[in-house]
Amino acid sequence: MHNKSIAVIGGGFCGMMTAVYLLQSPQPLDITIINDGYPFGRGVAYSAHTDKYLLNVRAINMSAFDDERFHFLDWLQQQPAYQKIPRNILVNVYAPRKLYGNYLQHIWQQALQNKNAATNINIIEKQAIDIKEQIDGVNIYFNDNKKMYANLVVLATGNTAPRHVFNQNKEFLNSEKYFANPWAKECVSNVRHLKNILIVGNGLTMIDTVQGLLENGFKGKLYTISPNGFKLIPHKYNLLVYEKIAEELPEEYNLREIFILVRNHIRSLTNVGIGAHLVIDALRPYTQQIWQGLSFDEKKYFVKRLSHAWTILRHRIPVHIYEMIQQQRMNGSMETIAGKITAITETADNITVKYSNHKSQKEEEIIVQRVINCTGPECDVRRSANELLRNLAASGLIIPDALHLGIEADAETGAVINRDGEKSERIFTTGGNLKGILWENTAVPDIRVHVKKLASHLSAKLQQQAIY
Ligand SMILES: Cc1cc2nc3c(=O)[nH]c(=O)nc-3n(C[C@H](O)[C@H](O)[C@H](O)COP(=O)(O)OP(=O)(O)OC[C@H]3O[C@@H](n4cnc5c(N)ncnc54)[C@H](O)[C@@H]3O)c2cc1C
């Protein structure tokens, strides 16, 4: 009798960890991981090309396993550069993302060693571009016109390149001076050291890019632009945990009530000189639950009016990196603009960028040698740079969630919902694709929980004879 088969599209943290759990299944399976673009088991985040790119989550919270809190910490403690660091300090370390990728490789090797001998694992390094449902499974199509069959498929497609940031001068999108994928090494290499650069975006990817450019000897001026300007804050009070707000959370969630509760707690902390982000950290274990309890209108309001503040308090940077950026800003090597690009013109040597400056309320311009798009992953599946997601959205096998933040799916199992509102028996998703459903399902502390749940659901499903 042949094994039941499952394909996982995407070999980043989510795809690999889903497979790690499936490899533990006592039932023999044929598992195929389809991965293209970034190295298997590392994905975008953990294939960083330099040690300068750090985790933005403390070591204590980066275990790949939800039920083994110290798993990463124990591994890290054994690495040469960390052996002598006391444990109480190690918990607060922001390790290089590349090193975290080595940790994931270690997990994979162990999973292979311990797998059921009758389970087959196959990694295909090709791009999946479409899926068609069959009576008892799915056909997955590749960009070389080949296809494969599986009983179930998981879309662990992860981070897609950012949306293009300007509607004017579209020809510039094809320019060699425009860097559309901020995670590619080319963004920060081969720069002319003294000529200015514009980074579009003022978030965490901007921080990486600045570090990458400086590491490569860049000495010109760096401009960064986004509607709200630079607002990132450092991680502080690492050892403090503020639990009070959790005790006061209502049974049923109402955005207005929660907003007032959060605001009051933030006020009482900031009044005594403690940062507001402790309140947001305290809400993290409840975020998915709160989000699911909100109405569509409340979610829409949150995304429009409050998500920027949430993002600032949530996505912080290590103190030493924050200080380095502030130093760059103070010495004039870096200028952060709150504004919006209005026109881009390219000449043989330069790019002229016009923008409306929200502070001065004036139209201004700068001359730069390259423009790097660091605005964050595109969420809307219909506009995605990922051909597979676009094709699935076009055929109606997946649909965007109501807020177009990802894929409409069942929160628990990740089963996608099709154009007719039916929950799929064969196609599942996880990771950032569930942003609209869970709001926070991007960082390791959240995705490790979901992939475990997903893998357990898939194992149970594959054991049911009924799927044939
Ligand atoms: C730059 C960056 C830094 C981050 N840092 C942290 C951090 O410090 N801590 C933290 O907790 N989280 C961090 N995150 C969040 C991060 O998204 C998750 O931790 C995790 O890496 C997500 O893994 P993933 O598998 O969902 O996606 P990805 O890592 O994006 O992996 C998806 C993989 O699937 C491949 N793929 C997609 N579509 C197809 C297809 N059609 N065919 C074949 N292959 C396909 C992609 O090319 C990629 O290799 C970071 C994210 C980014 C972008």
Distance 161 CA to ligand 1 centre (A): 11
Beta bridge partners of 132: 139
Same structural domain, 33 and 122 = yes
CB neighbours of residue 4 within 10 Å: 24
Residue 176 belongs to a domain: yes
Q: Which two tokens stand for residue 163?
A: 């949306």
Residues having CB within 6 Å of any atom of ligand 1: 9-15, 34-38, 43-45, 55-57, 97, 127-128, 156-159, 183, 205, 386, 388, 431-432, 442-444
- Residue 468 confidence class, pLDDT cut points 50, 70, 90: very low
pLDDT per residue as tens digits for the range 376-415: 999 999 999 999 999 999 999 999 999 999 999 999 999 9
Which pLDDT score is estimated for 230? 92
Residue 239 pLDDT > 90, yes or no?
A: no
Residues 139 and 49 in one domain: yes
Asked whether residue 397 falls in the same domain as residue 256, the answer is no
What does the CA dihedral 75, 81, 83, 86 come to, rounded to 10 degrees?
Answer: -100
In angstroms, rounded to a whole number, what is the distance separating the alpha carbons of residues 182 and 364? 25
- Specify whether the CB–CB gap between 344 and 168 falls below 8 A: yes
215 and 147 in one domain?
Answer: no
Residue 28 and residue 111 in one domain: yes
Condensed to tens digits (0 to 9), the pLDDT of residues 340-360 reads: 999 999 988 999 999 999 999
Please give the pLDDT value at position 92. Answer: 93
Residue 277 lies in a domain: yes
Using CA atoms of 46, 50, 51, 54 in order, give the dihedral in degrees to the nearest 10.
-50
Looking at the domain assignment, is residue 287 inside a domain? yes
Q: Is the pLDDT of residue 423 over 90?
A: yes
Q: For ligand 1, atom 18, which residue shows the shortest CA distance? A: 443
**Burial readout 268-297 (b: 16 or more C-beta within 10 A, e: otherwise):** ebeeeebbbbbbbbbbeeebbebbebbeee
Task: Give residue 169's pLDDT band: very low, low, confident or very high (50, 70, 90).
Answer: confident
> Would you state the pLDDT for residue 453?
97
- Tokens standing for residue 424: 């799929």
**Predicted model pTM:** 0.96
Over pLDDT 90: what percentage of the chain? 90
What type of residue is 166?
Answer: F
Residue 382 — φ and ψ, nearest 5°? -75, -20
**Could you say which DSSP state residue 39 is in?**
-
Q: Verify that 145 and 34 share a domain, yes or no.
A: yes
Q: Widest CA span of the chain, in angstroms?
A: 72
Measured between alpha carbons, how far apart are the two ends of the chain, in Å? 13
Please tell me whether residues 321 and 221 are part of one structural domain: yes
* CB 433 within 8 Å of CB 154: no
CA of 238 to the centre of ligand 1 (A): 26
Whether 186 maps to a domain, the answer reads yes
Same domain, 325 and 188: yes
Is residue 238, in this structure, part of any structural domain at all?
Answer: no
Q: Which of 16, 42, 44 for a ligand 1 pocket mutation test, highest count of atoms within 8 Å of Cβ? A: 44
Res 164: pLDDT = 86
What is the residue with the minimal CA distance to atom 48 of ligand 1? 43
Instruction: Kindly state whether residues 36 and 154 are assigned to the same domain.
Output: yes
Domain contains 340: yes
- What band does 2 get if pLDDT is binned at 50, 70 and 90? confident
Predicted confidence (pLDDT) per residue in 57-79, tens digit: 999 999 999 999 999 999 999 99
| Centre of ligand 1 from the C-alpha of residue 220, in Å | 31
pLDDT tens string 206-228: 999 999 999 999 999 999 999 99
CB distance 355 to 342 below 8 Å: yes
For ligand 1, atom 20, the nearest C-alpha belongs to 13
Residues 392 and 463 in one domain: yes
Averaged over 140-153, what is the pLDDT? 97
Q: How many domains does the chain have?
A: 3
Nearest CA to ligand 1 atom 34: 10
Residue range of the domain that includes 276: 244-314
pLDDT at residue 178 is higher than 90? yes
Cα dihedral across residues 85, 91, 95, 97: positive or negative = positive
- Class of residue 234 by CB neighbours under 10 A (exposed 0-12, middle 13-18, buried 19+): middle
Bridge partner residues of 223 (DSSP):
198, 335
Estimate the crossing angle of helix 444-463 against helix 13-23, to 10 degrees.
Answer: 40
The pLDDT assigned to 193 comes to 85
Q: State the chain's mean pLDDT as an integer.
A: 95
pLDDT score for 61: 95
Task: Point out which residues pair with 142 in neighbouring strands.
Answer: 128
76 in a structural domain: no
Q: Which of the listed residues 356, 373, 390 is the one where a domain comes to its end?
A: 373
Cα 407 to ligand 1 centroid, rounded to whole Å? 16
Provide the CATH number for the domain around residue 189: 3.50.50.60
Whether the pLDDT of residue 466 is over 70: the answer is no
| Residue that finishes a domain, picked among 278, 296, 314 | 314
**pLDDT over threshold 90, residue 443:** yes
CA distance 426 to 134: 9
Q: Kindly give the pairing relationship between strand 29-34 and strand 4-9.
A: parallel
**Per-residue tokens: 430:** 């996880």
Burial class (CB in 10 A: 0-12, 13-18, 19+), 334: buried
Domain boundary among 352, 373, 394: 373
Based on the fold, state whether residues 295 and 280 are members of the same structural domain: yes
Supply the DSSP symbol for 416: E
Check residue 158 and give its pLDDT. Answer: 98
Q: State the average pLDDT over residues 297-322.
A: 95
pLDDT at 467: 47
Mutate to test the pocket of ligand 1, among 35, 57, 388, 434 (most ligand atoms within 8 A of CB): 35
Ligand 1 centre to CA of 435 (Å) is 14
| Of 412 and 238, more confident | 412
* Three-state secondary structure call for residue 275: coil
Residue 170 pLDDT greater than 90, yes or no: no
Judge if 384 and 368 occupy the same domain: no
Hey, how many other C-beta atoms are within 10 angstroms of the C-beta on 107? 18
Task: Give pLDDT, residue 465.
Answer: 56
Asked whether residue 70 is assigned to any structural domain, the reply reads no
By most ligand atoms within 8 Å of CB, the mutation choice from 130, 153, 159 for ligand 1 is: 159
For residue 14, report the distance from its CA to the centre of ligand 1, in Å: 8
